[in-house]
Amino acid sequence: MGIYSNNIKPILKRKDILIRLIVINIGVFLLLAAFNILKLFHIDIADTIISYIALPARLDVLLTRFWTPLTYMFAHQNVLHILFNMLMLYWFGQLFLMYFNPKNLGSLYIIGGLAGAALYLLLFNTIPMLVEMNYSIMLGASASVMAIIFAVAFYKPDQEVMLFIFGRVKIIYIALVLLVLDLIGISSISNVGGHIAHIGGAIVGYIYAKQYLRGKDITKWLNKTIDWIVNLFKPRNTSKKMKVKYKKPETDYEYNQRHNNEAEAIDRILDKIKASGYTSLSAEEKKRLFDASNRK
């Protein structure tokens, strides 16, 4: 309990969704690893638990375990699998948070995982060779991570990262290489379900980026749903005492993120003026442009 209360609990209380996602994945992995140790005493509870959280390819099994399209994306079975996924989630999650807010990250993680599950179920129940393999199950956050990678890559294709040996590389190239590897991997027998799920996540990430550039947020509905669920469990204060709220100062990271978002919004407004003239602006856009000019 001391380890949890002193180290893990403070992390979970932070509003850092990226760290929360990583901690949850690692926590589930360590729990499954602990249950695996019990096999030494002929107690085979680990496989039973996995069967209830992994995504089954068979639809009849899925109907009795309808929660698995959500739970599978938080579970891993081996060290290399979770290590690779969590490193990719951390690196590209940091890039994602440079342009989008934490709620978008959490919602896209879930939607990307659900898209991977949907494509996995569709192909494993329609393609003849895969139908013969539909006894399989799937675990892992790979589809969710691919959604985040592709969202950043197609929103900011010129963004570069430093890669060992290769030097500075545009993230769009990294995303496309991963996609090609998954397309090649489908033809192999090993982990074909995983490669299919990756593609499902990648498609959602691409759609998210393209829609966001057009001013639409495909995660908005899930953000509202999660907020509604969270508010249900919040204690209601019936007292009418006056509360004084203190605004927490912005960190450098939060300031830079807000500044970048505002600059991009102004750039879009200026582009609209060039294309259609000032009269084409909405009242909100005119106000934003006015406020920005007064701050300079």
| pLDDT-derived band at 244, boundaries 50, 70, 90 | low
Which stretches within 125-159 are classed as H helix? 128-131, 142-155
Three-state DSSP at 240 gives coil
Look up tokens 């729990």; give the residue.
31
Per-residue pLDDT reduced to its tens digit, 171-195: 999 999 999 999 998 877 778 999 9
Per-residue pLDDT reduced to its tens digit, 124-176: 999 988 888 878 899 999 999 999 999 999 999 998 888 877 788 999 999 99
Residue 42: its pLDDT value, please? Answer: 76
Cβ atoms 200, 115 nearer than 8 A: yes
> What class is the 2-230 domain?
mainly alpha
- Alpha-carbon span 75 to 78, nearest angstrom: 10
| Tokens linked to 13 | 């209380």
Per-residue pLDDT reduced to its tens digit, 187-223: 777 789 999 999 999 999 999 999 999 999 999 999 8
Domain residue spans of the chain: 2-230, 251-296
